Structure formats: structure tokens, C-alpha cells
Amino acid sequence: MKLAATTTPLVPARTRFGIIIPARYGSTRLPGKPLRDLAGKPLVVRVLENALTAGADFVWVATDDARIARAVQAAGGTVVMTRADHVSGTDRLAEAALARALPDDTIVVNVQGDEPLLEPEHVQSVAAALAAHPEAGIATLATAVGGGAELFDPSAVKVVTDARGMALYFSRAPLPWARDHFEAGRIATELPDASAYLRHVGLYAYTVGTLRRLADSPPAPMERLESLEQLRALWLGLGIHVTVTADPPLPGVDTEADLERAAQVLRARTAHEAP
């Protein structure tokens, strides 16, 4: 597949980057999620195998759980053991990067341990965007908001950017607010200018130096209010570049239904690739 037109063209494929997959055993909605069977293999192994197709210089799984480590190592993967008290995947990434003494300018893509269907082009896109924008410490994706219901849905995170594609703010609230179009307390079914509304897609590339600063800094006030970790970076003055795509990644696995849908996609891909 190819990404749709973006706010920045991809730089050549020689962009160097690594992938770290944070994986923890605990999950409220899907207990033991990383080790759940997905088309004959543990979910975390499916994520690892898919990540290996993105052309990264290294792919590591960062975990605090020996069961996950054994499954990854049995599949030939590389594991970095981390502490059990991390409150976010970003903190786990930072520990893994620092444990392996990666230089501050190394680009690392955070591939969540529940995203087995992530296209390699999306991973390459955020890594390339970060390499192309040295003023940024983070690169991420966004796509057009699908309509009024999504704009007003607090689970759909909105992002506003400047003319260069740098994030100005992320919010669960409908942004930007069309003063003369929206009425307080009513969900608008139509948007006055659809191109002005972007939904954030949570795929990130970081420099290791940025990971270090985030891990060393307490949550920002607006981060606590919105429960959005990326706001810490903006609070600290760290630039976030946003690439806009019309072809966002497929959702990750959070529920039993998600697991079954992912299995169906994998079966369909296998059937398509069969001679």
C-alpha cells in the first residue's frame, strides 16, 4: 500500500531508525493480551514479525514480564527487560533506549505491542518525517476527522497544526471551535470546513534525547487534565511534526472482538499471498 498525500514527502528509504515494542502482561479489557493467540502465534510475536518488515536497523521488545520475554526469544526476537513500575509505554521505551546506550539523535519508533496490522509504510513515514524535520523531537500521524460525531467524541483525539505541520495542541475537545457554526451542548452533524479538522493517530517516532527529557519530566498540568501524554512534550517546548494521511493504520487489539478481526485480516492476507 501507499500513503496518501501528506504534509511532507517521504525522505529516501535510507533513513535510519529503530523500533521498540513496549509490551506488558496486564490488560484490563484483555488479560494476558501479548500472549493471546492470534492466528497460531502469540500477539506480541505477530507484532514483532510485522515490525521486522519495516526496514529498521533494530527491533526490540521492551517488557517487564518473563513470559513475554520467553515467547519473543523463542521466536528469535530481541528482548530488553525493563522495570515493572512504568506508567506509560514511552517510559518503557526510554529505559530500553538508555539501557542500550543509544545516542541522543537516534530515531526510535514506538510500535505498540497490540498493533499486529501496522503497515511498514506508516512506520517508515514517521521515521522519515522526524529525520526531515530536525526542529522536531517527535513525529506522528493524523487523518481527517470523519464527521461531527467523531469531532465531538472525547475518545477521538484532535490535533491542530501550524502551516509547517507542527502540532499546536492536542485535545479531546472539538478543535478548532467554529464559533458561528457550533452550538454549545449540541453535536454538529456537519463540519464547516472539513479540511480544518484532524484526528490524531497514535504512532510516534522519537529521538532518544526527547525520550530522555520526557522520562525525566513530571506530567504537565494540561497532560493531567486531558490525559494525553503528548502534551508533556508541548509543555516542554519539544516540537511534534504531524504527517497527514488519508490511509491511517488499522486499529490495534483491545478486546476479544478486535482479536478476531485481526485474525480475519491475517487469514485474508495469507490467502491473498498464497500462490
Sheet strands (E) in the chain: 18-23, 37-38, 41-42, 58-63, 78-81, 107-110, 136-144, 158-161, 167-171, 198-207, 239-244
Which of 97-101, 130-134, 194-198 is least confident?
194-198
Q: Where are the beta strands (DSSP E) in 31-184?
A: 37-38, 41-42, 58-63, 78-81, 107-110, 136-144, 158-161, 167-171
Question: What pLDDT is stored for residue 85 in this prediction?
Answer: 87
What is the pTM assigned to this prediction?
Answer: 0.90
Cell readout for 219 is 506530567
The DSSP result for 207-265, as a single string, is EHHHHHHHHHSPPPHHHHHHT-THHHHHHTT-EEEEEE-SSPPPP---SHHHHHHHHHH
pLDDT tens-digit profile of 216-249? 999 999 999 999 999 999 999 999 999 999 999 9
Strand, helix or coil for residue 271? helix
> What is the CATH architecture of 15-118+254-268?
Alpha-Beta Complex (3.90)
Residue ranges matching CATH 3.90.550.10 in the chain: 15-118+254-268, 134-206+217-249
Alpha-carbon distance of 52 to 58, in angstroms, equals 8
Range 134-206+217-249 has CATH code 3.90.79.10 = no
